[in-house]
Amino acid sequence: MSDIYHAYRSVRSELARRFYTKFVKIQVRSYGSSLRVNGPTNLNRSTTLGDDVHFNGLEINGEGEVEIGDHFHSGRDCIIHTQRHNYHGEELPYDDEMIHEPVVVGDNVWLGHRVIVLPGVTIEEGAIVQAGSVVVEDVPKCAIVGGHPATQFASRDEDHYDRLRSEQLDRKR
The yes-or-no answer on residue 6 being catalytic is: no
**Cβ neighbour number for residue 131 with a 10 Å cutoff:** 14
Decide: 28 and 47 in contact? Cβ < 8 Å.
yes
Instruction: Provide, for the chain, the percentages of residues in helix, strand and coil under a 3-state DSSP scheme, each rounded to the nearest 5.
Output: 25, 30, 45
Q: Which of 6, 54, 73, 85 is catalytic?
A: 85
Decide: 144 and 163 in contact? Cβ < 8 Å.
no
Counting every residue written for the chain, the total comes to 173
**d(Cα 85, Cα 115) in Å, to the nearest integer?**
21
Residue 59, φ and ψ in degrees, nearest 5: -130, 135
Active site residues: 85
